[in-house]
Structure 1
Amino acid sequence: MILVTGGTGLVGAHLLYHLCSTNNTVVATYRNKNTQNITKEIFELYGDTTNYKNIVWKKADIVDIPELEKVFIGITHVYHAAAKVSFKASDSEQLRKINIEGTANIVNLCIKNKIQKLCYVSSIATLAKTPGIDFIDEDCEWNPEGDHSDYSITKYGAEIEVWRGSQEGLPVVIVNPGVIFGFGAWNLNSSQLFSKIKKGLPFYTNGTVGVVGVQDVIFAMITLMNSTVINQRFIMVAENLSYHNIFSLIAKTLNVKPPKFKASKTFTEIAWRLNHLVSSLTFGTINFGLNKYSARAAHKKRYYKGDLIKKSITNFSYTPFTTVIKEICSKLP
C-alpha cells in the first residue's frame, strides 16, 4: 500500500489524483481536516472525483512519532511531500522541526517498516552554482558558505536525512523541482501569483528561475518509484525564465495588463525592510510576503539543467510552460 505525506498541498493533491486512478486505496496524512478541501477541489478541477473515495485519510503530524507509527502499518511505498514553505525569520524553528525532524521521522519509520522505496520531494533551493559552470545540475553541491534562507537550509537538512536512510539500506529517489506551477491550491505558493496578476501586479524583476508543471513532476515521481532507479536525485526544471517573462505570460493569458515597472535591487531592499517593520508593528496582521531572501532571490539569475530525468525515463518530455499556464488560467476561479 502507498503512503503520501503532504496530500493536502499542491504536489500531494495532484499526486493523489493520479495514484488513486490506478490503486484501490492510497493512504494520505493530514493535520487539519479542512485542508482536505484543497485535495477534493483539485480532483474536481480534473473533472473526475470518482476515485477520491480511494484515499484513506489518516490524521498524523510528521513530528508526532506515535501517530506516524500507526500510519505506517501495511505501507510498502512512501511519497514524502509534506514540508513547510516559508521565508519568514519567525518560522525558523518550525521549518527545522517539520522539514528536518519530520523527514528524519519518516526515514526512520521507512527503515523500521522495511519500506520498499521512498520518494522525497526536495527543491532546487538545496543546489548551488559551481564556479565556472553555467548551469546547475545534479552534480552541483550545497555551498555551506552561501547566504541561505532557513527554508533552503532545512530542505538541505531533510535531504541529508534521506541520504542517511539510503546508506542504511533504504532505496530512495529525490526530485528537486524548480518553482512548481499547477491548478488548484489557489492560496498556496506559486498559485497565489495568478490572482495577484489578475488583480494587477505593477512590478517585476529581471531575475531568473527554473519552472516546471506539477503534472510533469508527478509523472516523474510515479515512474521513478515503479522503476529500478534508486539513490539518485533528479532536477525537475522544464525552462529557465525571467520573472518578467513569467508575469507577462500569465497576464497575457488572463488578458490583463502585464507589470510595467522594473523594481531595482535598491527598491526591493527598501521594500522588504518596510514590510518587516509594518508586519512587526501590526503583529503580522499586515504582511505583503516580501522578505530579505525573496527580495534578493528576485534578482538572482540561475539556470538549471533538468535533462537527467529525460535520460532516465523513456519518452519523458517536459510540458511547454505556455501550455501549463494556459491550463491553469482556464481553471482559475
Structure 2
Amino acid sequence: MKVLVTGATGLLGNNVVRQLVERGDEVTVLVRASSDSRPLAELPVHRVVGDVTDEESVKRAAADVDAIIHTAAHIHIGWTQWETGRRVNVEGSRNVARAARERGVRLVYVSTVDTFGVGTIDEPADETSPREGKPNCCYVATKREAEQAVQQMVAEGLDAVIVNPGFMLGPWDWKPSSGRMLLEVATRAPFATPSGGCSVCDSRDVASGILSAIERGQAGRNYILAGENIRYFELWSLMSEVTGRRPPVFRMRAVAPFIGGTAGDFWTKVSGREPTLNSALVRMSRLTHYYSSQRAIDELGYSPRPPRESITAAWQWFQQHGYVHHVADAA
C-alpha cells in the first residue's frame, strides 16, 4: 500500500512511518523545508516538501497514494495563536481531506481526546460523551472545528475515520512533545503535581491503532486510542521511579496554579507573549482526562500497554539520543 503521512517528524507521525516501513508499505511524507531532518534520516520514504496549509503541495504529495494519515497539528494550550491554530488545524485538515476525497482514498484524521468532555475513574468518557467540560482554548477549539469539517466532508462522500489519542509517551519523540513532562520530572524532581489526571497511552500502540483504522475502521466513526486512567501524582511518581528521581510529595491545591495562571495571562497582556503557564493550561491540568478505549479495542483490535512500559521506553530513548546530559541527584 502507498500511504501519505503528514506530521511525520512528530512523536506519533514518526512512529506511524516506522511501522508502515516495517510492514513493507511505500511511504510518502509531506515535510516543511524547515523540518528537523533527524526523524526521517535513515528511513526509505519519499519526501515531498510542502505544508498542509498549502493545498497544492498537499495534492502533489497525495497524487499516487492509497491512503492518507493526517497527524500534523499545531498544539498550543493557551488563549493566543488562534490564527496559526485555525490555519494549520482547520484549514490544513480541510486541504488534506479534500485531497483524500479527490483521490477517492481513505483518510485517517488524528484528533485528540480533548475534543470530548471529561470522565471519571468509575465512568470514563467515550465517543458518545458530551463535548463539554474543557476550556475553549486554541487547541481544543480548533481540533473540534477540524473534526466537524472532516465529518461534513464524510457526509459529502469522503471516506474518513477519526482517531482520538490520549496522552502519549514513547520512543521517537524528537521535538520533544509530551515527553517533556518526563524530562521535567527527571531533571527537576518537582515536589508537587497538578491535581488532575490523564489517560496514558503509548505512541507505538496508537500508531498500530491508526494502521488498523485504515483497514477496519468504520467511515465517519471516532475511535478513542487512550490507555490507563491515572492521576498526575501517580504518573509523576511512576516517572520518578523509572528515572531514579525523588518522587513528588503532594498534589497542588487549586489556588497555587490559579495564581500562576493568572500571572501568566497578565504577562501575555503586558508583553504580547504567552508563557507556557497560563490559565488555559492550569484549567486543563486540574481536569480528569479519563477515557474508555473499548470501541477501538473491540473494532480495531487496539491493545494499550501499561504506562510503565511506555515511560521506560521513552526514558531509554531519550538517554540513547542525548536528551539527558545531566540529571542532578535530587534524592
For residue 195 of structure 1, what is the amino acid of its counterpart? L
For residue 171 of structure 2, what is the amino acid of its counterpart? F
Query: Is the 2:33–2:50 Cα contact (8 Å) retained in structure 1?
Result: no
Secondary structure of the equivalent of 1:156? Answer: helix
1:281 shift after superposition: 5.7
Shift in CA distance, 313/109, structure 1 to aligned 2, threshold 3 Å: closer
Shift in CA distance, 194/281, structure 1 to aligned 2, threshold 3 Å: same
- Which residue of the partner structure matches residue 45 of structure 1? none
Q: Which has the higher contact order (CA 8 A, sep 6+)?
A: 2
Secondary structure of the equivalent of 1:38? Answer: helix
- Which residue of the partner structure matches residue 86 of structure 1? 76
For residue 57 of structure 1, what is the amino acid of its counterpart? R
For residue 194 of structure 1, what is the amino acid of its counterpart? L
Report sequence identity in percent: 22
For residue 110 of structure 1, what is the amino acid of its counterpart? A
Query: Is the 1:123–1:177 Cα contact (8 Å) retained in structure 2?
Result: yes
Secondary structure of the equivalent of 1:272? Answer: helix
1:39 shift after superposition: 4.0
Does 2:287 align with 1:300?
A: yes
- Which residue of the partner structure matches residue 2 of structure 1? 3
- Which residue of the partner structure matches residue 26 of structure 1? 27
Query: Is the 1:9–1:39 Cα contact (8 Å) retained in structure 2?
Result: no
Query: For the residues of structure 1 that align with 2:157 and 2:282, how far apart are their CA atoms?
Result: 41
Does 2:196 align with 1:210?
A: no
Query: For the residues of structure 2 that align with 1:24 and 1:120, how far apart are their CA atoms?
Result: 19
Map Cα deviations across residues 18-60 of structure 1 (whole Å, 9 max, x no partner).
11122353110111344232344xxxxxxxx4xx12x111111
User: Please, which of 62, 74, 89 is the counterpart of residue 72 of structure 1?
Assistant: 62
Shift in CA distance, 77/7, structure 1 to aligned 2, threshold 3 Å: same
Secondary structure of the equivalent of 2:224? Answer: strand
User: Please, which of 170, 173, 178 is the counterpart of residue 190 of structure 1?
Assistant: 178
For residue 94 of structure 2, what is the amino acid of its counterpart? A
- Which residue of the partner structure matches residue 241 of structure 1? 230
Q: Across the two proteins, how many residue pairs are aligned to each other?
A: 316
Equivalent residues in 2 for 1:310-329 (5 A)?
310-314=297-301, 316-329=302-315
Map Cα deviations across residues 119-175 of structure 1 (whole Å, 9 max, x no partner).
0111011112589x93211111323x8642121110011111111221122211111
- Which residue of the partner structure matches residue 124 of structure 1? 113
Query: For the residues of structure 2 that align with 1:307 and 1:121, how far apart are their CA atoms?
Result: 18
Query: For the residues of structure 2 that align with 1:129 and 1:330, how far apart are their CA atoms?
Result: 31
Map Cα deviations across residues 161-214 of structure 1 (whole Å, 9 max, x no partner).
111221122211111111111123254321111221111223212211111111
Query: For the residues of structure 2 that align with 1:250 and 1:195, how far apart are their CA atoms?
Result: 9
Secondary structure of the equivalent of 2:107? Answer: strand
Structure 1: runs of 5 or more not aligned: 41-48
Query: For the residues of structure 2 that align with 1:123 and 1:39, how far apart are their CA atoms?
Result: 24
Query: What is the TM-score with the length of structure 1 in the denominator?
Result: 0.88
Query: What is the TM-score with the length of structure 2 in the denominator?
Result: 0.88
Query: For the residues of structure 2 that align with 1:279 and 1:161, how far apart are their CA atoms?
Result: 31
What is the aligned-residue RMSD (CA, Å)? 2.2
Query: For the residues of structure 1 that align with 2:25 and 2:196, how far apart are their CA atoms?
Result: 44
Shift in CA distance, 317/154, structure 1 to aligned 2, threshold 3 Å: same
